[in-house]
Amino acid sequence: MRHLLCLLLCLLAGAAQAAPPAKAYMSIIIDDLGQSTERDNRTLALPGPVTMAIMPDTPHATSFARQAHKAGKTVILHMPMDPATGPYAWHPGLAMGELASRLDAALLKVPFAAGVNNHMGSRMTSQPEAMAWLMGELQQRGLFFVDSRTSAATVAAAKAQAQSVAHVSRDVFLDDVRTTEAIAGQLQQGVALARRQGSAVLIGHPYPQTLEVLEREIPRLKQQGVELIELQQMVAERGNQAMPAHGRHGRYSNR
């Protein structure tokens, strides 16, 4: 009898561990905005709380940031980082004072930014000292950080976690392959991930194919058991913890 009771308890424990999360959340960020009024406006018209990531060195950065904020959308600064180029771009060889100056100038170009994510940055986000300084600066300003994870060598989210800076990391890129079929497949990967781990952060770009898929599929997310939420809510939901693909036991692998 005792053996049967023990077996039953083990089966129940296993079932509880295998049970999916009670809720499945998703946040979507569209990068590289500010370059084209047509693409910006189409992105702004997407249904639901889609985050607008605006590049500072674009013709419409400031005006579109104001427009998006007025429309009730979350705005973040899409900060250029090496190998990106331009007057705002961060590079490993720059002095800390120059990095600070470029961050200040970029934030002035993108008013109402609630946070920052990296544009490119496969080299820059692997720099521990610069990333630690950035996280401290964002914390002082009350801004959160999104690690776009353009490189497996990134330490950005780890430095944010170490300093208790509000942050999340990207889980899925929508449009590395720029076809509607591939993008729809990536979105479904995000849906499956949200169901499995409780949340998923997706990043895409204002390509016609990406916008076409999102226009069609965002209204269908609820039917699939996924709730699209504001990026700030996602930050709170994850509580600065790393997802399984980014580390172990909530801690980032690259520290």
Helices (H), 23-95: 37-44, 61-70
Distances (CA, A) of 204 to 29, 69, 97, 174: 6, 20, 32, 5
d(CA 59, CA 191): 34
In a domain, 7, yes or no: no
Task: Please report whether residue 155 resides in a domain.
Answer: yes
The residue segments making up the domain with residue 236 are 22-242
169 inside domain: yes
pTM for the model: 0.91
Amino acid at 232: Q
Burial of 100 (0-12, 13-18, 19+ CB in 10 A): middle
Structural domains counted in the chain: 1
Residue 5 lies in a domain: no
Classify residue 95: in a domain, yes or no.
yes
What is the C-alpha separation between 135 and 143, in angstroms, rounded? 9
**Two tokens, residue 77:** 């600064």
Instruction: Report which secondary-structure segment, H or E, holds 97.
Output: helix 96-109
What 3-state DSSP class applies to 149? coil
Residue 206 to residue 186: CA distance in whole angstroms: 15
Residue 225 near residue 24 (C-beta atoms within 8 A): yes
Q: What is the CATH number of the domain that holds 195?
A: 3.20.20.370
CA-closest candidate to residue 88, choices 61, 56, 42:
56
Ordered per-residue pLDDT tens for the chain, 255 residues: 444 444 444 444 444 445 667 899 999 999 999 999 999 999 999 999 999 999 999 999 999 999 999 999 999 999 999 999 999 999 999 999 999 999 999 999 999 999 999 999 999 999 999 999 999 999 999 999 999 999 999 999 999 999 999 999 999 999 999 999 999 999 999 999 999 999 999 999 999 999 999 999 999 999 999 999 999 999 999 999 999 999 999 999 987
Has residue 129 been placed in a domain?
Answer: yes
Peptide bond into 206 cis (omega under 30): no
User: Does any domain span residue 165?
Assistant: yes
* Domain-embedded: residue 253: no
